Amino acid sequence: MKIALIQQHATKDFKENLERGAEAFHQAVKDGAELVAFAELAFLPFLPQIPSTPDSLEKAEPIPGPTTDKFSALAKEHGIVVVLNLFERDGERTYDASPVIDADGQILGVIRMVHIAEEPGFHEKGYYTPGDKQNFVYETKVGKVGVAICYDRHYPEYMRSLGLKGAEIVIVPQAGTIGEWPEGIFEAELQVASFQNGYFVALVNRVGEEEVDHFAGESFVADPFGQVIARAPQDKDSILYADCDFQVIPQCPAKQYFLPDRRPDFYHVFGLLD
């Protein structure tokens, strides 16, 4: 199964960002992609780089809404699975949200970021309500797709839960900056997650210099053996392709050993999570 990760910069012109995203989608379709994924808040400037204001919160949109309508139509037209990331409004609350759109154009569900960061350049607590959804893995035309939105990837219990729910690939929409963490640690973190939990991981990052943050790009894909199999360039718009053969998953260490040998009964003795 061929996937495409759309790594692109964002300007303050939402319509222009959306059109470039659609153009990249069409290119990915032309190149044979069966699943297309976009970075965190792909069609907006990264709003949380500055504290929230009433005006900035007005940029949130409903799901379903105009953006999902556009990509649902494209997904149905071309038979492609799409994972977006949007600033969602649901009543008075706003979320960092990833709708999963199947190849027939149906929105299978919406994953909302669970863990909310607050640090320089990432003033997210003023924008996002912590996610309240119960399902993070969906059965699509191409297989079982899970999502870990940006900050959620740092929580091993979250990443393990995706494996326990049978995810074959985990999409990670991210907004990661140049020099944010020690070099290589983001890759190492998700290499370990893929190795320990038995799925492919596809991190799709923002790119480009904005008002406060300078996003790195460097999207990548790791396989269930913990190996990076594809990597995008730093600081450059690109489409990263990777071939993900789900038939290798049953042979990976997590499926053969780690997950079957878990001891949930033991973990409960110490008050730990299953």
For 27-46, the pLDDT digits (tens) are 999 999 999 999 999 999 99
Number of domains in the chain: 1
Half-sphere exposure of 94 (CA within 13 A, CB side): 19
Q: Assign residue 85 the CATH number of its domain.
A: 3.60.110.10
Question: Do 76 and 55 contact (CB within 8 A), yes or no?
Answer: no
Q: Which two tokens mark 207? A: 């790119």
Q: Which residues constitute the domain of residue 200?
A: 2-263
Q: Is the pLDDT of residue 272 over 90?
A: no
Question: What's the predicted TM-score (pTM) here?
Answer: 0.97
Indicate whether 270 belongs to any domain: no
Is residue 273 one of the residues assigned to a domain?
no
168 occurs within a structural domain: yes
Q: Would you say residue 144 lies in a domain?
A: yes
In a domain, 231, yes or no: yes
Q: Is residue 272 part of a domain?
A: no
Separation of alpha carbons 119 and 110, rounded Å: 26
For 230-241, write each residue's pLDDT tens digit.
999 999 999 999
pLDDT in tens, 188-244: 999 999 999 999 999 999 999 999 999 999 999 999 999 999 999 999 999 999 999
Q: Is 68 among the domain residues?
A: yes
> Tell me, what amino acid is at 1?
M
Domain assignment present for 129: yes
Check pLDDT > 80 for residue 270.
Answer: no
